[in-house]
Structure 1
Amino acid sequence: MTAPEITTEEQIELDKALYDALNPLASAIRSRETGQPVDRMWDANPVEVALSVLAAWKVMDAEVRRLAGQAAATAGSYGASYEQLGAVWGITRQGARKKWPDAVTRPASAAGTRTLALFGGSAELVRASSGDWSWEGTGADGTSSAAADGVRYATPEEAAAHAGAFLKEHALDIDGRS
Structure 2
Amino acid sequence: MTQIEATEAELAALDKSLLDALTPLASALRARATGLPEDRMWEADPVEVTLSILAAWKVVDAEVERLTAGAARTAGSYGASYEQMGAAWGITRQGARKKWPDAINRSAAAGLEPSAVELFGGSAELFWAPTLGGWRWTGRGADGTHGEADGSVSFGTKETAAAYAGIFLREHAVDQG
Q: TM-score, normalised by structure 1?
A: 0.63
Matched position secondary structure for 1:40: coil
Match of residue 57 from structure 2: 57
CA drift at 1:40: 2.2
CA distance in 2, matches of 1:36, 1:3: 46
Match of residue 107 from structure 1: 110
CA drift at 1:111: 4.4
Match of residue 38 from structure 1: 38
CA contact (8 A) 1:2 1:90 kept: no
Match of residue 156 from structure 2: 132
CA drift at 1:87: 0.5
Q: Which one-letter code corresponds to 1:49 in the other structure?
A: V
CA distance in 1, matches of 2:112, 2:86: 24
CA drift at 1:2: 3.1
RMSD: 2.1
Match of residue 175 from structure 1: none
Q: 1:131 to 1:69 in 2, by over 3 A?
A: farther
Q: Please, which runs of 5 or more residues in structure 2 have no aligned partner?
A: 116-133, 137-153, 160-177
- 1:67-101 CA distances to partner (integer Å, 9 max, x unpaired)? 00000000110111111100010000000001001
- 1:30-72 CA distances to partner (integer Å, 9 max, x unpaired)? 1001101223232121111100000000000000000000000
CA distance in 2, matches of 1:59, 1:22: 9
Q: 1:39 to 1:97 in 2, by over 3 A?
A: same
Match of residue 20 from structure 1: 20
- 1:5-51 CA distances to partner (integer Å, 9 max, x unpaired)? 11111111110000000011111111001101223232121111100
Kindly name which structure, 1 or 2, has the bigger radius of gyration based on alpha carbons.
2
Q: Which one-letter code corresponds to 1:110 in the other structure?
A: E
CA distance in 2, matches of 1:41, 1:107: 55
Match of residue 92 from structure 2: 92
Q: Please, which runs of 5 or more residues in structure 1 have no aligned partner?
A: 113-126, 136-178
- 1:105-136 CA distances to partner (integer Å, 9 max, x unpaired)? 32236347xxxxxxxxxxxxxx743251378x
Identity, % of aligned positions: 63
